[in-house]
Structure 1
Amino acid sequence: MRDLPSLKSLRAFEAAARNGSLTAAANELCIGQGAISHQIRILEDNLGLSVFVRKQHGVELTPEGALLFASCNRAFDDLEGVVQHIRPRNTQKILRVKVGPFFSMKLIAPRISQFLAENPGLQIHLSHLETNTPATGTADVIIDYCLHPPPARFSQRLLRERLVPVCGKAIWEAQVDKHDLLCGNRLHYRGLQEWQSWIASSGLRLTPSRQDLIFDDQHIILEAVKEGQGVALIDRTMVEYELRSGQVCLAHDHFYEPNETYQFVCQEELFRTKPVTKSFLGWLLQEIGDRQRRYAEIAHVGTVG
């Protein structure tokens, strides 16, 4: 007989550790927060140590808890892969994908009907994954923005961003000195680092911006750019439509490549046994490749004049 804590307590612990919150774990497992707390106490009593440090706005893993979480994560992922493999074949017609909302909106949604037409009867379930959320859960595929893909899984790089400064058409046409345009209002995604890296790699001598606006939503940044609120760094692949339609212009053609990349991640076993997973990866790579090949058509949009 295996000397292990109960599966119920381990499941409650894994959900709480992954979400960083007992409340979120309770919501995910459709039970009360008190039940989650009770299972955690059972687990800690069994182990004779604490797995969490309780914080005001959630929980934080102890060193021992972090070791247990890593092991639970691997075990549950393996179990999930086997369950998906042995389920009846009709479940092969469902593909569950977790992906960041901006990537989903710009690269998947515009032409996903083409992929569905090539795979009759397939259902695609898209759910949004915050960028800083670990790539775990019940999805077949995770499209994760990360420095290193998770170990012990199949992964394929989809896209390394090429961040370029873009601005609205109106302020591009109104600004005679294009160099000065880059020193105006700068719009940032979550922090100042990307602009600092872009300026350093460009070799340009730019004065500090007149105003720095920091957002945590790339959709809002793009809308602010189109409305003339400033200049933002956005991957060229993500703004191809706006560049082609003239809604935004390139403020400069220098690009900066962050070290993080978008990665297609799934279980090795699932990739081998669920053909639609491989088909979806091929379609994504084709879509991204087609967009990048069209760069030549828009290379000078907004830079000539």
Structure 2
Amino acid sequence: MSRNPYGLPSLKMLKSFECAARCGSIKDAAAELFVTPGAVSHQVKALEQELGVQLFIRSHRAVELTPEGWVLKDALSRGFFDISRAIKSIQSRVDPNSVTIGATTAVSSLWLTPRISRFWRDHGEITINQHVRDRPFVRPVLLDLVIEYRISAPDEPHDVLFDDVLIPLCAPDFDRSGASELGDIAALPLIHLDAKETNWTSWQNWFDALNYNGELSTRHRVNNYTIALQLAKDGQGVVLGWQRLVAPLLDAGELIVLGRYRSAAPGRFYLIHAGIENNAQTALVRQWLINDID
């Protein structure tokens, strides 16, 4: 019997190619797969050599699919989707009372986890698993529920969890003397979030919304909102805060609001119910989260 009855290249080659094709970048694919860009590039080149065709047109910053690449990418995406759906179906049979929710680190720790604890007081029989990820969730989303902050509404079925207000935040002992006007805040050491994979609103967006067009200072540039909040708590600068999201930190006095300026967040927090098995347990958790908005 053939050791490879389907005549397929190695799964590592196919997975590397599919990820790079979906991301449009070798570098971004490497970050998703937790390997080096060189490793992804090696696997894709090996796949091209085995197939005898070019799958990518490579440029300095991105990759573009050839016609043959598009054919293979579409087939792999459908195949991986069907495999994931089958696995999800099997898992739901093993633990029918399990619900998996996707969220960023900040949303998980500040908003979702406290609510799950309250949910379990009345529904301890339902297992809630969290899939925490600070990069965008791959589409199609194969989780029961996903919480995302987005500037525009998602295409998937969804509910609006809440709108929010953006405010400057700092540690209680941070030197904020004289920071009464926008120009004063702009001159303070601002903590900037550089995460191109997210829809987080930036300091530049916030000042633009308040019609301020002066220079903005920089203290730290980070790629994770939880890290930005921690730097602010440590007194390292001023962070832009989503008032409802960071309410636990405000209530605990770990951060305080700096000044009187605030603006409505351009995005909303959405609850996407994109699960394959939209069962009664998922529906219960979804409705509970919607009703638990305070």
Structure 1 position 238 matched with structure 2 position 240: no
| Structure having the larger proportion of residues in helix | 1
Q: Which amino acid aligns with 2:209?
A: S
Using a 3 Å threshold, how does the CA distance of structure 1 residues 268 and 95 change in structure 2: closer, same or farther?
A: closer
* Contact 1:135–1:142 under 8 Å retained in 2: no
The alpha-carbon deviation at position 181 of structure 1 amounts to 3.9
Query: 2:277 maps to what in 1?
Result: 270
In the alignment, the residues of structure 2 paired with residue 77 and residue 266 of structure 1 have an alpha-carbon distance, to the nearest angstrom, of 17
Q: Which amino acid aligns with 1:275?
A: A
Using a 3 Å threshold, how does the CA distance of structure 1 residues 239 and 137 change in structure 2: closer, same or farther?
A: closer
The alpha-carbon deviation at position 242 of structure 1 amounts to 2.0
Q: Which runs of 5+ in 1 are unaligned?
A: 291-305
Among 271, 287, 291, the residue aligned to 1:282: 287
Using a 3 Å threshold, how does the CA distance of structure 1 residues 255 and 228 change in structure 2: closer, same or farther?
A: same
Structure 1 position 108 matched with structure 2 position 112: yes
Using a 3 Å threshold, how does the CA distance of structure 1 residues 69 and 221 change in structure 2: closer, same or farther?
A: same
The alpha-carbon deviation at position 233 of structure 1 amounts to 1.0
Q: Which amino acid aligns with 1:98?
A: G
The alpha-carbon deviation at position 236 of structure 1 amounts to 0.6
Q: Which amino acid aligns with 2:281?
A: V
In the alignment, the residues of structure 2 paired with residue 53 and residue 155 of structure 1 have an alpha-carbon distance, to the nearest angstrom, of 36
Length, aligned pairs only = 273
In the alignment, the residues of structure 1 paired with residue 242 and residue 191 of structure 2 have an alpha-carbon distance, to the nearest angstrom, of 14
Using a 3 Å threshold, how does the CA distance of structure 1 residues 138 and 181 change in structure 2: closer, same or farther?
A: closer
Using a 3 Å threshold, how does the CA distance of structure 1 residues 41 and 118 change in structure 2: closer, same or farther?
A: farther
Q: Which amino acid aligns with 2:100?
A: R
| Identical columns (%) | 19
Structure 1 position 215 matched with structure 2 position 216: no
* Contact 2:146–2:274 under 8 Å retained in 1: no
Root-mean-square deviation (CA, aligned residues, Å) is: 4.1
Comparing 206-215 with 158-167, greater Cα deviation is found at 206-215
The alpha-carbon deviation at position 245 of structure 1 amounts to 2.7
Q: Which amino acid aligns with 1:50?
A: Q
Q: Which amino acid aligns with 1:219?
A: T
In the alignment, the residues of structure 2 paired with residue 255 and residue 11 of structure 1 have an alpha-carbon distance, to the nearest angstrom, of 46
Query: 1:166 maps to what in 2?
Result: 169
Q: Which amino acid aligns with 2:171?
A: G
* Contact 1:149–1:265 under 8 Å retained in 2: no
Query: 2:127 maps to what in 1?
Result: 123
The alpha-carbon deviation at position 284 of structure 1 amounts to 2.5
Using a 3 Å threshold, how does the CA distance of structure 1 residues 213 and 38 change in structure 2: closer, same or farther?
A: closer
Among 156, 159, 166, the residue aligned to 1:156: 159
Q: Which runs of 5+ in 2 are unaligned?
A: 1-5
- Map of 1:40-55 to 2, 5 A cutoff? 40-41=47-48, 44-45=51-52, 49-53=53-57
Query: 2:97 maps to what in 1?
Result: 93
